[in-house]
Structure 1
Amino acid sequence: MKNTFSDSKQVITVSTFSDLVNTNFQGNMNAICWSRNLLGDFKEIVDKLELIENITEVSVEDLLILQLSEQGHLAREIILNDIQLLTNCGASPSLNLLKNYERDDELDFISTDVYSYHVDRSPIETDTFLCTYHGSASDILPNDQVEQKILIPEIREKLKELHEGQETEFETFLEEYFFDLHYQPKSDAKPLNLGLGHLWRLAVDHPTQQVLPCVHRAPAEKDGEYRLLLIC
């Protein structure tokens, strides 16, 4: 069973972009949702874009040259406006047409790809913004419903076997290969799906952050369906 925005202490819902970017994270709240019911045909845009690789970055120019119906035009205007809003506040948004991300299957006891629950880290003060316009949407989990994978004894022992350096360098090794960013859901975990059309701001692990970073994961894509995702 999945949570809804209204019953989650992790999320606050706002009604304007200004509130999205200016509301402070606090307490257990590390995700802010600009809740929207978007008009327009985003599938038409997906169908008319060309997938070059499994992940194709779509430029503003790519969007502008599309010949679209009235509903497709509405969808394009929303995307262009979101890109402009984020750019104006200093972010660097990227619009991606996604078939799938690369899977990390090198180790059979731990995964470090984006399908694994993880947090984002940055050396500077920043947040993660994302909006799924079409396709499957990401999930988040409260921090008390996950366990850091490197603290799970059997995983930690295998990582120690993998580490070939001094014991004093082990923690640095975990950070260097991003093992410390990944989390295992507890048995009673209740994911919250971010849904379509909502613009989200998620807390990132950085030196000035006052709350725990938001634990999230990319969804498993549906066969034959591409995702259209704005992220920065």
Structure 2
Amino acid sequence: MSNIFSDNNQIGVVSTFSELINTNFQGEMNAICWNRNLNGDFKEIVSQLHLKENITEVSIEDLLSLQLSENGNIAREIILNDLQLLTDFGASPSLNLLKNYERDEELDFISTDVYSFHVDRSTIGTNTFLCTYHGAASDIISNNEVEQKILIPEIREKLKELHNGSEAEFETFLKEYYFDLHYQPKPNAKPINLGLGHLWKLAVDHPEQEVLPCVHRAPVENDGEYRLLLIC
């Protein structure tokens, strides 16, 4: 399939949900895109939803209660179908209306919030699925274009000062506070924006994973615009 992601070794491109769940990661490929050009007015849905907190989970009942135009209804049917497909697959999808995520401003030399490039970790074999229907979309980046933040000497030294314990305990400390999940882009690195409407499967760090986990980040939101994001 010819599209903007096809010539990237990190990304596999498929054209159906069945292919998305049945295509395995391999080699450098740790992100798979169900490439879609969606019809429908997702902005209309966002304009009618009510933000209760900075991140508000939208239920199926919330969606069904909206009075929508024909194009709004097309968008709603797409979202409901995506939720159903993932639920039938055995995932637990969540539809979120997002103003912004919480920022980590506790330490000035390392950030561990979702705006920082990071990987997801699980104790069981799983994947991260996500689709942005409206608003700014997430980024991924190739593993060879990033450096683990805990391996950057000046950051590592400051973390050791913060820990103030033995070397063996230090490694546990790094995992316990998720410092080891975060990455710094190398100079001239080129993040890839995941775009709107595509449903993505990203590799997670877990014991059975045979590829490197996918490094990704949440985008800085556009001014005055909420994001509508499916994630599980």
In structure 1, the gaps of 5 or more residues are none
**RMSD between aligned residues:** 0.9
2:171 aligned residue? 171
Q: TM-score, normalised by structure 1?
A: 0.98
Give the letter for the 1:105 counterpart. E
- How do 1:22-171 and structure 2 match up within 5 A? 22-171=22-171
Q: Take 1:71 and 1:117, find their aligned partners in 2: how far apart are those partners?
A: 35
Residues 202 and 213 in structure 1, CA contact (< 8 A), matched pair in contact too:
yes
Greater displacement, 26-35 / 5-14: 5-14
Give the letter for the 2:221 counterpart. E
Q: Secondary structure at the match of 1:32?
A: strand
Quote the sequence identity (%): 80
Structure 1 position 184 matched with structure 2 position 184: yes
Give the letter for the 1:84 counterpart. Q
Residue 179 of structure 1 and its aligned partner are, at CA, apart by 0.1
Q: Take 2:217 and 2:7, find their aligned partners in 1: how far apart are those partners?
A: 20
Residue 165 of structure 1 and its aligned partner are, at CA, apart by 2.9
Residues 39 and 75 in structure 1, CA contact (< 8 A), matched pair in contact too:
yes
Q: Take 2:164 and 2:62, find their aligned partners in 1: how far apart are those partners?
A: 47
CA deviations on 1:70-109 (whole Å, 9 max, x unpaired) are 0000000000000000000000000000000000010000
Q: Take 2:164 and 2:96, find their aligned partners in 1: how far apart are those partners?
A: 38
CA deviations on 1:150-204 (whole Å, 9 max, x unpaired) are 0000000000000033221000000000000000000021111000000000000
Q: Secondary structure at the match of 2:36?
A: coil
- Could you list the structure 1 runs, at least 4 aligned residues long, displaced by more than 3 angstroms after superposition: none
Q: TM-score, normalised by structure 2?
A: 0.98
In structure 2, the gaps of 5 or more residues are none
Give the letter for the 2:49 counterpart. L
Give the letter for the 1:113 counterpart. D
Structure 1 position 215 matched with structure 2 position 212: no
Q: Secondary structure at the match of 1:7?
A: coil
Residues 4 and 192 in structure 1, CA contact (< 8 A), matched pair in contact too:
no
